[in-house]
Chains A and B, each alone.
Chain A
Amino acid sequence: MALILMDGKEIQIENGATVLSAAYRNGIEIPHYCFHPAMKIVGSCRMCLVEIDGMPKLQTSCSTKIGEALPNRKIDGKYDMVIQTQSEKVKKARKTTLEFLLLNHPLDCPVCDQAGECFLQDYTYEYGSSHSRFIEEKLVRPKEDFGSGIQHDPNRCIMCTRCIRFTREVSGTKELHKIERGNHNKIGIFEDKPLDNPLAGNVTDVCPVGAMLPKDSLHKERVWNYDVAETVCGVCARGCNTNVSYRENQIFRITPRRNMDINDWWMCDRGRYFHHEFETKNRIETPKCRQNSELISVSWEGVFNFVREDFARVRKEQKDNFSVGIVASPFLTNEELFTLSDLAHSLDATVYRFVDTKIGEKQEFPQGFKISDDFSPNSAGLDKIFTNADDVANLKKHSVLFVPSLVAGFEFSDSTVEQMKKAKLVIAIQDEKSAISDFANAILPAQNFYEKTGSIVNEDGWIQRMNPIGQSEKFRYNNWEIFLKLQNLLVGKSAQFSSVSEVFSNVIREKFGLEATFFGLKKEAIQMNGGK
């Protein structure tokens, strides 16, 4: 351990830590651009310069390591390093570096999507100058399409090279490079080799300024108008941690949130843009039931009455032949699966599971970021909760079927659908119209991926919490509540859960053998298989 003095504050820090990390871990901000914890240190932006006793030049805090000094070299007899991050020299260096960065910058914040989360803007406000001494003509270069939906604006670029290093070190695809040198430096792609990798969208996140923007959300909304849901991506079994930016229930963008156990700083483009799959006109807004072969919208009371009456009627008609089938899927949360399993148990139902979710390609990138071949979020949870469910491909003829929705891109096979059609009563719990809607007798509107709250388990056993965009007042019932409600309706009793937290605690205790709170899960994922 080394003892350092930073801005008059004594800090104990392990040998080999950088000045920058020592500062951040102790609440001292040092502005920086080129440094990114996932990438090779290049020390070129010169924004993180600090003053270190005994070193005549200002030093880059990102690259300067702290180590124990020899006893006779300690400063004031005890400090291994004495650092100032706020001295006049440091302040001038920051101010002039910002001045340099802004010389050729268009200062077009009013039309730049980065505004509001731009480090050029923030640092200029905090450390910069309010006027420029530059009276010459600015360099103006055209915007470029870099592929994968990314627009590059060289005029806003500060040449920190994070994007280049991302493609070299993280995605390993190496599409980006520097072209020319000196002041003519620019980020480029090779002729007909645009950004083309499953992680390309991350370059827009690593760019500290507005030089790399996703065309997907370009000019659609100012960032300060966004509400943000901290959640977990559900497009594959990795469960990357994400921030979903939305406004009035419309999702504008999804960006990764750091989690070193699961996704580091990254997410894949499929997860990033998957919300568009839900922007269809097929949304099921109200409960529906089939009358005279027509689906008509009814109230929740209406649909529940319909289900209760038809269920009783079918049971009566079928007598000894009466049987119930329930289809579970890894697109459901643990809480949904738990209440669904209760429903199944109380109705003595045969449970089937949708299993054909391994339709992706397992991918691993140089630094270890992974994309799962399982394109569902909760296969591990499903395995725990329904230990012996049959493949839905073996679906038998049942009198009554409960079918919760799958997710865009997934459908039941034609033969399964044909088999389903044989049921007398099909109750679908769905967010969008699907092949099932064509013959379902009752449809209960469900929450989709981005709207529900609950827990899921990733392929490595991490139990994580999904959080919804907006308030779910749009939905009268959460999906897990629908299953409870159905149980109550058809059997006359059910567990009395008043919140998702309560369901969580129960499912986690009964099915996973763990003690945990849903609130705790917000802060940190739980490892299902023990350990951290």
Chain B
Amino acid sequence: MSFFTEENQKRAENIFSQYPDKRSCALPLLHLAQSQEGYLSNETIEKVAEMCEIEPSEMMDTASFYTMFFRKPMGKYRIQVCQTLSCSLAGADKVVDHFAKKLKIQPGETTKDGKFSLLKVECLGSCGTGPVVQLNDDYIEGKTIEELDRTIDDL
């Protein structure tokens, strides 16, 4: 039985059809696996390694390099606040402090109910609209703390 759901298995097959070799599919498959599982457990990494025909150790070598791959469970909503220069000049530090206080967690932590994770991240590539917050996959750009609050409260 495949590790992926039927729909994701089709996606995986489509990925394999696009690349000239299997290992090159590592990043797309890790993304797909993470979207299905929420994070990359060792078991997941092993499964993806098997699909790419490499050792789990080699897949871990790859997966652990990239900050977007989580190797522990994350909250349902990841509040990722950019802290690099332009966003910092635009008040990103205050945004982090605000959410830390509001959610009663430190950056890097997840709320007890598993709903929110607060993460400080480095440059998200949208420096003109700081402070930038990436809520799961979506960019929320140039919003005040009050506006951000409303977005979070509606979740």
A residues whose Cβ falls under 8 Å from a Cβ of B: 174-181, 188-191, 193
Contact = CB atoms under 8 A, between A and B. Distances in A.
A174 B58 CA distance: 7
A170 to B, nearest CB: 15
A191 B58 contact: no
Most buried by A among B45, B46, B55, B57: B57
B64 A179 contact: yes
B57 A175 contact: yes
Given A190-B42, A191-B42, A180 B58 contact: no
A190 B55 contact: yes
Contacts of A176: 57
Contacts of A181: 64-65
A159 to B, nearest CB: 13
Interface string B35-79: 000000010011000000011111011001100000000000000
Contacts of A178: 61, 64-65
B100 to A, nearest CB: 23
Contacts of A188: 57, 60, 64
Interface string B109-146: 00000000000000000000000000000000000000
Nearest to A176: B57
A190 B64 CA distance: 11
11 contacts: A174-B54, A174-B57, A174-B58, A175-B57, A177-B57, A178-B64, A180-B64, A180-B65, A181-B65, A188-B64, A190-B45
**Ordered nearest first, which 6 A-B pairs have the shortest CB separation?**
A177-B61, A190-B57, A174-B55, A177-B57, A190-B56, A179-B64
User: Chain A interface secondary structure, helix, strand, loop or mixed?
Assistant: strand
Contacts of A189: 57
B155 to A, nearest CB: 31
Contacts of A193: 55-57
A190 B60 contact: yes
B60 to A, nearest CB: 5
Given A174-B55, A190-B55, A190-B56, A179 B42 contact: no
Contacts of A190: 42, 45-46, 55-57, 60
Most buried by B among A176, A177, A179: A177
Nearest to B63: A179
A179 B58 contact: no
Contacts of B65: 178, 180-181
Contacts of B55: 174-175, 190, 193
Interface of B: 42, 45-46, 54-58, 60-61, 64-65
Nearest to B56: A190
B2 to A, nearest CB: 22
B6 to A, nearest CB: 28
A176 B56 CA distance: 10
Most buried by A among B54, B64, B65: B64
A174 B45 CA distance: 15
Nearest to B55: A174
Contacts of A179: 60-61, 64
A243 to B, nearest CB: 30
Nearest to B46: A190
A146 to B, nearest CB: 12
B62 to A, nearest CB: 9
A364 B28 CA distance: 35
A175 B58 CA distance: 8
B55 to A, nearest CB: 4
A500 B57 CA distance: 51
A190 B50 CA distance: 14
Contacts of B61: 177-179
B120 to A, nearest CB: 15
Nearest to B42: A191
B57 to A, nearest CB: 4
A161 to B, nearest CB: 10
Nearest to A175: B57
B147 to A, nearest CB: 34
Most buried by B among A181, A189, A190: A190
A331 B58 CA distance: 42
Contacts of A174: 54-55, 57-58
B23 to A, nearest CB: 12
A58 B65 CA distance: 28
A188 B45 CA distance: 15
Nearest to B41: A191
Nearest to B62: A177
Contacts of B54: 174
A165 to B, nearest CB: 12
Contacts of B58: 174, 177
Contacts of B57: 174-177, 188-190, 193
A174 B53 CA distance: 13
A193 B61 CA distance: 14
A179 B69 CA distance: 13
A358 B123 CA distance: 62
B138 to A, nearest CB: 26
Contacts of B46: 190
A193 B45 CA distance: 13
Nearest to A179: B64
A181 B63 CA distance: 10
A157 to B, nearest CB: 15
Nearest to A182: B65
Given A174-B54, A180-B64, A191-B42, 13 more contacts: A174-B57, A174-B58, A175-B57, A177-B58, A177-B60, A178-B65, A179-B61, A181-B65, A188-B60, A189-B57, A190-B56, A190-B60, A193-B56
Contacts of A175: 55, 57
A50 B46 CA distance: 42
A178 B56 CA distance: 12
B121 to A, nearest CB: 15
A200 to B, nearest CB: 14
A176 B61 CA distance: 9
Most buried by B among A176, A188, A191: A191
B46 to A, nearest CB: 8
Nearest to A192: B42
A191 B45 CA distance: 11
Contacts of B45: 190
